[in-house]
Amino acid sequence: MSLTADPPVRRPRRGRLARRRRLAGFLLSIPAIVLVAALLWTPIVQAVRYSMTSWNGYTAPVWIGPSAYASAFGDPIVRRVLENNALLLLAVPFAIGIPLIIAALLHEHVRGWRFFRSVYFLPTAISWVVIGMVALQFFADKGILNQLLADVGLGSVHTDFLASEYSALAALAITFIWSMIGTNTIIFLTGMATLDPTLIEAARVDGLSRRQIFFRVELPLLTRFIQFSFVITVISAFSALFSLIFVMTGGGPGLGTTTLEFFVYQAGFAQGQFGTGALYGVILFVIMIIVGIGQLRLIRTEDGEGW
């Protein structure tokens, strides 16, 4: 820079420019700040306030205080709902493991792999509503799965999967796993593309089998990507399945498929308990923060790099 060549002339001008730059920066960031503050941060503060009241949305809210949380955790219905969330976590290893295997297959770059990649990723374009509607037909009493079972001679296993609590949750979880395949496969493919091919070649020359290369060389190098997909998967499981539950089961049978996010909707809008609904929402937010801190750390370690 020619800055050092003639500092006496440039300095005052730089100062004025820097001031103008800061002002422009402030002005340009105002719309985003207003939008996010008004429609994301204000409501979360309001939600915390609502959560400590008993309120039906019409009459004046009645203040309860933090004890609302204590009584919520003592409520067997809330525990049942949280149990569903916990059970849904059992789907996470599958939602990560299966895409990992698929990505490894695609990474072999056999004929037509680009086409297959497109097909695998296609479901990410369609809505949970549409996915739920087909899944409903898949798991229905006279549905595709029971037909398949009958075709292979397992007609005796015939079950109305959506009619009992745990099998309905399992059906939901399987649909969820299917839906995550596209997203997670792409994440892992991206990860595998960053691997140094000479490293793999070296391992091959050293006489490691393909399976050994995958587990001992590739997998450790993909840790960051697996962490990322873990966060995405858990966040989706806990906060993206509303539409799927709405279409597939409506939260039932009983409380069988009511997760925390669906419970917020039911309490707030089906039963008109705004206070209780907000409380469940705050619990969900806290869970998301705990999961999301990991994600924020990942983002921040990359902060400052271009894409």
Partner 1 sequence: MTAASAPSAPSAPEAAAASTPGVTGTPGSPGAPGAGGAPVSRWQSARFRRRVSATVIFVAMVVVAVVMFYPFWYMGDNSFRNQNQFDLQSGHSLAGWTQLFQTLPVVHELVSSTIVCAAAIAIILLVSTTAGFAFAKLRYRGSGAVFLLIIAAMMVPLQSIIIPEYVNLAKFNLMSSYTGAVLVYAALGAPFATFLMATYYRGISDELIEAAVMDGLSYERTFLRIALPLSLPAIATVTVLQFIQIWDDLLVGYLFLPTNDRTITVGLAVLSSGRTTGIPPLMAGSLVSAIPAIIVYLIFQRYLIRGLTLGMGK
Binding to partner 1 in span 87-116, by CB under 8 A: 98, 101-102, 104-106, 108, 110-113, 116
Q: How far is the CA of 82 from the CAs of 55, 99, 110, 257, 271, in angstroms?
A: 23, 27, 44, 11, 19
The residue type found at 31 is P
Closest CB to partner 1 among residues 65, 193: 193
Question: By CB under 8 A, which span of 69-77, 150-158, 166-174, 182-190 interacts with partner 1?
Answer: 182-190
Q: Which two tokens stand for residue 229?
A: 């997909």
Question: By CB under 8 A, which span of 36-44, 67-75, 149-157, 161-169 interacts with partner 1?
Answer: 36-44
**Site for partner 1 contains 118 (CB under 8 A):** yes
| Phi (first) and psi of residue 53, to 5 degrees | -125, 165
Q: Which of residues 6-35 bind partner 1 (CB under 8 A)?
A: 17, 20-29, 31-33, 35
The distance of closest approach from Cβ of residue 194 to partner 1 in the complex, given in angstroms and rounded to an integer, is 7
Using CB under 8 A, pick the residue from 121, 160, 165, 221 that binds partner 1: 121
Closest CB to partner 1 among residues 169, 264: 264
The residue type found at 286 is V
**Site for partner 1 contains 157 (CB under 8 A):** no
The distance of closest approach from Cβ of residue 210 to partner 1 in the complex, given in angstroms and rounded to an integer, is 5
- CB-count burial class (<10 Å; 0-12, 13-18, 19+) for 304: exposed
Eight-class DSSP state of 164 = S
The distance of closest approach from Cβ of residue 151 to partner 1 in the complex, given in angstroms and rounded to an integer, is 12
**Site for partner 1 contains 42 (CB under 8 A):** yes
The residue type found at 30 is I
**Site for partner 1 contains 128 (CB under 8 A):** yes
The distance of closest approach from Cβ of residue 176 to partner 1 in the complex, given in angstroms and rounded to an integer, is 14
**Site for partner 1 contains 131 (CB under 8 A):** yes
Closest CB to partner 1 among residues 199, 299: 299
The distance of closest approach from Cβ of residue 52 to partner 1 in the complex, given in angstroms and rounded to an integer, is 13
Residue ranges of E strands in the chain: 53-54, 62-63
Cβ atoms of 128 and 241 within 8 Å: the answer is yes
Show Cβ contacts of residue 292 under 8 Å, excluding neighbours closer than 6 positions. Answer: 231, 235
**Site for partner 1 contains 69 (CB under 8 A):** no
**Site for partner 1 contains 63 (CB under 8 A):** no
Q: Which of residues 218-277 bind partner 1 (CB under 8 A)?
A: 224-225, 228, 232, 235, 238-239, 242-243, 246-247, 250, 260-261, 264-265, 268-269, 274, 277
Closest CB to partner 1 among residues 57, 254: 57
Percentages of the chain per state (helix, strand, coil), in multiples of 5: 80, 0, 20
Show Cβ contacts of residue 238 under 8 Å, excluding neighbours closer than 6 positions. Answer: 85, 88, 259, 260, 261, 284, 287, 288, 291
Dihedral (CA of 246, 249, 252, 256) sign: negative
Cβ atoms of 113 and 106 within 8 Å: the answer is yes
